[in-house]
């Protein structure tokens, strides 16, 4: 009998990308192989995101298409198991059972290590959705197989969950309270990744700089300690961490940006708004002044460092003056990349019930203005890169033969006609052209 094939589709943040890689690890130990697409898959998994309404609704519309596919396969005598995992499940388990009863199993982001038992259960009784949305006592990381091999760039989750409860955000409800992995576990996983080819590791957490994992002696250690330990791993050339919370950037972490050449000179530090009134209503524990002071300290520690950020426009109560304060902080920090969103009202979060909800039309106008400004700084930074020699880690094939895509230290995408022998290598590239979203370049000589 041929091996069973899986297809997994990932929505949402980098943590979900990491989780999907770990799920693939589980499936491979169970003997599954990757399918070329959903049509040939015996098992289809959606790893879902609940952060904004659009993200969550997309899951349900895509599931409708998968149901049609399941019917087609059934008509041809083929069985298809459909699973939904991730943040939508944690928040809307009942909705899934109601709106997509053809789903065979649904597990939250903290219980997917139980997949082998869940799949076995489905084998025994079909036609009922198996749901697991417990916040488990055990850590999934202790139960996942260690068979993940890596390309040049790898993600490594070191912390999960969030205790910040920003008033707009679902994450504390979907990923639970903050939990850090022990230092030695992180180091062991990092070493394995480097042994299998990783040159760059991106440490992940919903609030990664509140990391407080225990060391071998049971002592709690912070992110700065972890970064210094990781920097000792031979062969690990680049380290990044994301996403950080501004109020938790401390002096020890800033010193790492001064001392560790492996730490890339690029930091994603979401500010969300430039207005102190709005930041307070968001329950962010920083003012715009605090944020600017942190950025100044970071620039002093490493003058080459550049910032990226996340923004929300149209938060309840946001007036023109508040929005102008957001534009003002962009003009001060000159972020080189950013994600910006219209506020999305999420059931169960405090902001959903706040007075002063902003009209959709105004949200859209503000988002357009903000994005134009952000893109202008992004384009300027990219244009200023032309003529520079930059170390680029190539990890993706480009559209045509011989073309590879890689990343500069500043997370810019760079395309080069360079030949596949440079895949998963760091190469010095002279930047020749720049647009808002990418660079092109050539090797010297
Ligand atoms: N833990 C990270 C990322 C959270 S989600 C952090 O604290 O930054 C990524 C981004 O989505 C957030 O930074 C925020 O800008 C945006 N976001 C979260 N909830 C949102 C909502 N209800 N509406 C619009 N954007 C939201
Ligand atoms: Fe959400 Fe705020 Fe936590 Fe980020 S810090 S995950 S925005 S609650
Ligand atoms: Fe989305 Fe969950 Fe990540 S809601 S952004 S997948 S933590």
Q: Is 195 found in the same domain as 59?
A: no
369-406 in b/e form (b: 16+ CB < 10 A) is ebbebbeebbeebbeebeeeebebbbbbeeeeeebbbb
Ligand lying closest to the C-alpha of residue 270: 1
Ligand in closest contact with the CA of 354: 1
Query: Are both 325 and 425 inside the same structural domain?
Result: no
**Which ligand has the shortest distance to the CA of 178?**
2
* Omega within 30 of 0 (cis) for the link into 243: yes
Clarify whether residues 310 and 184 are in a common domain. Answer: yes
* Domain identity same for 156 and 225: yes
Residues 48 and 183 placed together within one structural domain of the fold:
no
Residue 380 CA to ligand 3 centre (angstroms): 31
The interaxial angle of helices 320-333 and 360-385, nearest 10 deg, is 10
pLDDT score at 445: 65
* CB of 326 shorter than 6 A to ligand 2: no
- Where in 374-412 does DSSP place strands (E)? 389-397, 403-407
Return the closest-CA partner of residue 338 out of 392, 377, 366: 377
Mutate to test the pocket of ligand 3, among 51, 84, 205, 242 (most ligand atoms within 8 A of CB): 51
Number of the ligand 3 atom closest to the C-alpha atom of 11: 6
Residues 125 and 272 in one domain: no
CB atoms within 10 A of CB 127: 8
Residues 39 and 186 in one domain: no
Return the residue whose CA atom lies nearest to atom 6 of ligand 3: 49
Looking at residue 299, what is its pLDDT? 97
Let me know whether 123 and 150 are in one domain.
Answer: no
Which of 307, 339, 341 to mutate for ligand 1's pocket (most ligand atoms within 8 Å of CB)? 341
Pair 187, 232 in one domain? yes
Report the distance separating Cα 321 and Cα 328, nearest Å.
Answer: 10
What pLDDT is attached to residue 2? Answer: 67
Residue 201 is part of a domain; what is its CATH number? 3.80.30.20
Of 132, 157, 175, which residue sits at a domain end? 132
Write out residues in the chain with pLDDT < 50, as ranges: none
Give the number of domains in the chain.
3
Alpha carbons 391 and 235: distance in angstroms, whole number: 15
**Predicted pLDDT of residue 274:** 98
Which of the listed residues 157, 164, 167 should we mutate to test ligand 2's pocket, taking the one with most ligand atoms within 8 A of CB? Answer: 164
Query: What are the structure tokens assigned to 331, written together?
Result: 């003009």
Strands (E), 164-305: 179-180, 200-204, 238-242, 266-268
Q: Please give the structure tokens belonging to residue 66.
A: 């998968």
Residue at a domain's end among 104, 132, 160: 132
Range(s) of the domain holding residue 167: 140-383
The domain that holds 89 is classified in CATH as 3.40.50.12160
pLDDT of amino acid 314: 98
Q: Is 169 helix (H, G, I), strand (E, B) or coil?
A: coil
Which ligand is in closest contact with the Cα of 163?
Answer: 2
Shared domain for 418 and 378, answered yes or no, is no
Report the predicted TM-score, pTM, of the whole model to 2 decimal places. Answer: 0.95
Q: Which atom belonging to ligand 1 lies closest to the Cα atom of 51?
A: 19
Q: What is the pLDDT of residues 83-122, one digit of tens each?
A: 999 999 999 888 888 888 899 999 999 999 999 999 998 8
Q: Which of 332, 357, 383 is the last residue of a domain?
A: 383
Q: Is the same domain home to 378 and 395?
A: no
CATH number at residue 402: 2.40.50.140
171 CA from centroid of ligand 2 (Å): 6
Quote the pLDDT of residue 127.
73
Task: Answer yes or no: is the C-beta of 171 below 6 A from any ligand 2 atom.
Answer: yes
Considering the domain architecture, whether residues 335 and 421 belong to the same structural domain is answered as no
**Ligand 2 proximity of 339 Cβ (cutoff 6 Å):** no
Q: What is the pLDDT of residue 337?
A: 98
């Amino acid at each position: 009998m041929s091996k069973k094939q899986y297809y997994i589709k990932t929505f949402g943040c980098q943590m979900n990308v990491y989780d999907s890689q770990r799920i693939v690890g589980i499936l491979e130990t169970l003997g599954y192989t990757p399918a070329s697409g959903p049509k040939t898959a015996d098992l289809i998994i959606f790893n879902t995101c609940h952060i904004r309404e659009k993200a969550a609704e997309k899951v349900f519309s895509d599931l409708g298409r998968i149901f049609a596919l399941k019917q087609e396969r059934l008509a041809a005598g083929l069985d298809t198991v459909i699973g939904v995992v991730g943040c939508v499940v944690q928040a809307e388990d009942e909705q899934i059972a109601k709106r997509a009863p053809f789903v065979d199993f649904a597990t939250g982001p903290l219980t997917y290590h139980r997949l082998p038992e869940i799949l076995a259960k489905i084998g025994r009784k079909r036609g009922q959705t198996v749901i697991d949305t417990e916040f488990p006592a055990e850590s999934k990381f202790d139960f996942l197989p260690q068979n993940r091999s890596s390309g040049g760039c790898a993600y490594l989750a070191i912390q999960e969950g969030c205790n910040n409860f920003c008033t707009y955000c679902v994450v504390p409800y979907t990923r639970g309270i903050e939990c850090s992995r022990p230092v030695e576990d992180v180091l062991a996983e990092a070493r394995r990744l480097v042994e299998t080819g990783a040159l760059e590791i991106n440490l992940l957490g919903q609030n990664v700089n509140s990391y407080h994992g225990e060391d071998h002696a049971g002592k709690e250690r912070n992110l700065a300690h972890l970064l210094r330990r990781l920097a000792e791993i031979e062969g690990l050339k680049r380290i990044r961490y994301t996403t950080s919370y501004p109020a938790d950037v401390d002096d020890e972490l800033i010193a790492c940006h001064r001392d560790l050449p492996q730490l890339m000179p690029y930091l994603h530090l979401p500010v969300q708004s430039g207005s102190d009134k709005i930041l307070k209503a968001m329950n962010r524990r920083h003012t715009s002044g605090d944020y600017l002071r942190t950025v100044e300290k970071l620039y002093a520690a490493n003058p080459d460092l550049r910032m990226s950020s996340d923004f929300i426009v149209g938060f309840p109560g946001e007036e023109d003056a508040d929005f102008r304060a957001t534009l003002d902080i962009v003009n001060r920090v000159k972020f080189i990349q950013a994600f910006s969103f219209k506020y999305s009202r999420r059931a169960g979060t405090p902001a959903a019930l706040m007075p002063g909800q902003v009209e959709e039309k105004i949200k859209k106008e503000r988002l357009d203005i903000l994005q134009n400004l952000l893109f202008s700084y992004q384009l300027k930074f990219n244009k200023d890169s032309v003529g520079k020699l930059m170390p680029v880690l190539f990890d993706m094939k480009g559209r045509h033969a011989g073309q590879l895509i890689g990343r500069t230290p500043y997370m810019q995408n760079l395309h080069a006609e360079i030949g596949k022998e440079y895949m998963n290598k760091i190469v010095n590239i002279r930047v020749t052209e720049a647009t808002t979203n990418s660079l092109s370049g050539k090797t010297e000589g």
